[in-house]
Chains A and B, each alone.
Chain A
Amino acid sequence: MSISEADVRHVAMLARLALSDEQITRLQGELNSILGNIEKMQELDLEGVEPTSHSIPLRNATRPDVVRPGLSRDLALLNAPQAENGAFVIPRIVGAEEGA
């Protein structure tokens, strides 16, 4: 599988990264080189092998439905680049109305 420049641009959009043409070109080469080295894995016989998402056989990890103290509003907004009336401020939203 080879990654095209269009693929790289699409992935940059998905990842919300504004990359320069130069970065796109360099990343295309690097990603192809890294994935090329990974090809060997594709040759393994994985028929019937279950995927492992965790290495420990833990199941059903939950917590009881109990309220715990959270952050004060000051701490919640401590690192906010912009805040107003106790809320985080964002610029206008273009291209999508009312959520995804």
Chain B
Amino acid sequence: MAKDRLAGVLERYEAVIGLEIHTELTSLNSKMFCGCPVAFGGEPNTRVCPVCLGMPGALPVPNEAAVEATVLAGLALDCEIAPFSQFHRKQYFYPDMPKDYQISQYDLPFCGLGHLDIEVDGEGAKQRVDLDGGPYATRIGVTRIHLEEDTGKMVHVGGSEGRIAGADHSLVDFNRAGTPLMELVSEPDIRTPEEARRFAQKLRLIMLNLGVSDCSMEEGSMRVDGNVSIRLRGETELGTKTEIKNMNSFKALHDALAFEIVRQADVLDEGGRIVQETRHWDVTAKRTSALRSKEEAHDYRYFPEPDMVPFEFSAGWIDAIRARLPELPDARRERFMRDFGLSSADARTLSEDVEFAAFFEEAVALAGTPLAKPIANWMLGDFSAYLNAGTVALSDAKVTPAMLAELVQVIDAGTISGKQAKQVFTEMAETGDAPGAIIEIRGMKQVSDTGAIEAAVERVIIANPDEVASYRAGKTTLIGWFVGQVMREMRGQGNPSLVNEILVKKLG
């Protein structure tokens, strides 16, 4: 298997990987160049108009919010924002492209050079055989981010599994045509499949934080293509690259790149040459295969889109967009570590998701900063487990930040035990009742009255003379058994540390 052989191949070869990531701006109301709604699926050709159907005479007008979203993404990745930019036409005939050219950007994209820092840890870190195998951080350059329009979709009829090859005819639906599509091109700074996966995952988090896309790889609103070449370690010349498409999940991205690296190494090891081509990842067969290449070389005949005028962004305009940048996961993580004393790992998990982070912060605000850590523990522990087990979305959960804050406060006050708290949480998550109400109804209040505890301890000592004798003879491990008996006597409501303390005194 490719994955098993990857380590061996990477001992000898260095992989050079660049990614091209297309993100549909699904959070926008309307398409890139017309007023049709942006949505997924639906009956064919029901979200179309003269513009996105390429009707004779229809004209495209750029969506202001799409331009802003692209610049916002550029600022999030520290890109240079171009003072002068323009749309170009990229020309080729294809049935899913209504005008037979795509409005895209060429030499004057909205965003130029930027970067994204990624962290790699765990097993994946070992793919960097040139490093020590431990966690590391690395910076991946961003070449550019530009804006373009998506194509329509085709259904291939009469072939196998809806593939083009062997199909009798195809049906074209233009609902997706014209959806705003942001394309990011990375520098070839990526060295392992794991780094590629981390890069794509982190980019997705940032896009989600920016609120520009739902970034669903399954629905195709985030699509990752990779360019891969390998070279012998120590070699400075780049090898011939192949382009890998159809990687529809982060796992697919990792596995396809791993396969391709091993495949290229096999070709070279056998004295062959890598052919520059586009290859398709087949997720079931777990292999890449070459797409039938076109007979003619690409000649896209790019030229400035004459239906539009250029863009010139003033410094003031760019600053106004910058002011809309939300706090991004890295900054939030640092703040959580600094302000709340969270560990790096906990802070990362809490900070990645916008809603999750906001929930956490709201609960901390209500409960007070000193309780941030127990709140974090609840969120990363029982709460996450509950959400994952039922695949409940945070926004649909019955637990509110106020309820979690209250729970942590009553634990801190000693009103209930940790064990009781777990019961309270489960019930709270199921019913949506506040902790106070649950404690009240269930009669769970912890007894810290020493008189009541002493009475219960006395009753247990009198009832179990043999065990008392053993304990006093030196078998002190029986203390746990005594605590259990007292707690049972008190129907679980005794304050465990007080019970322990009084028992030790009375038995001693």
Contact = CB atoms under 8 A, between A and B. Distances in A.
| Those 10 A-B pairs whose CB atoms lie nearest each other, nearest first | A68-B35, A70-B49, A65-B65, A87-B171, A62-B64, A58-B309, A88-B172, A86-B44, A87-B44, A53-B304
12 contacts: A14-B296, A62-B61, A64-B65, A66-B35, A70-B36, A76-B45, A87-B171, A90-B170, A91-B169, A96-B291, A97-B280, A99-B94
A62 B62 contact: yes
A37 interface: no
A2 B46 CA distance: 49
B373 to A, nearest CB: 42
Contact of A100 (B167, B246, B294, B306): B294
Contacts of A87: 44-45, 155, 171-173
A45 interface: no
B301 interface: yes
A26 to B, nearest CB: 23
B311 A97 contact: no
Contacts, number: 147
A61 B309 contact: yes
A98 B304 contact: no
Contact of B294 (A68, A85, A95): A95
A67 B29 contact: yes
B170 A71 contact: no
B171 A53 contact: no
B229 interface: no
Interface of A: 10, 13-14, 16, 53-54, 56, 58-71, 73, 76-77, 84-93, 95-100
B64 A97 contact: no
Given A71-B48, A95-B294, A98-B245, A84 B171 contact: yes
Given A70-B52, A84-B171, 10 more contacts: A56-B309, A60-B309, A61-B308, A62-B64, A63-B35, A69-B35, A70-B36, A77-B45, A89-B172, A90-B171
B95 A90 contact: yes
B66 to A, nearest CB: 7
A51 B4 CA distance: 55
A89 B169 contact: yes
A14 to B, nearest CB: 6
Contacts of B173: 86-87
A14 B301 CA distance: 9
B164 A93 contact: yes
Contact of A92 (B30, B62, B168, B312): B168
A13 B458 CA distance: 100
A97 B455 CA distance: 83
B312 A60 contact: yes
Given A65-B65, A97-B292, A73 B46 contact: yes
A85 to B, nearest CB: 7
A100 B45 contact: no
B92 interface: yes
A100 B62 contact: no
Chain B interface bracket (under 10, 10 to 19, 20 to 34, 35 or more): 35 or more
Contact of A70 (B34, B67, B154, B310): B34
Interface in B127-185: 151, 154-155, 163-165, 167-174
B53 interface: yes
B29 A96 contact: no
Contacts of B449: none
Contacts of A70: 34-36, 47-49, 52
A69 to B, nearest CB: 8
Contacts of A71: 48-50, 53
B440 interface: no
B306 A54 contact: yes
A63 B309 CA distance: 13
A59 B96 contact: no
A34 B314 CA distance: 43
B170 A85 contact: no
Contacts of B492: none
B309 A59 contact: yes
A97 B170 CA distance: 13
Contact of B45 (A13, A86, A99): A86
Interface string B199-210: 000000000000
Interface in B56-108: 61-67, 86, 92-96
Contact of A90 (B50, B61, B169, B304): B169
Contacts of B294: 95-96, 100
B125 to A, nearest CB: 34
A54 B309 contact: yes
A65 to B, nearest CB: 4
Contacts of B296: 10, 13-14
Contact of A53 (B53, B64, B172, B306): B306
B424 interface: no
Contacts of B313: 60
A29 to B, nearest CB: 23
B63 A63 contact: yes
B501 interface: no
Contacts of B245: 98
B298 interface: yes
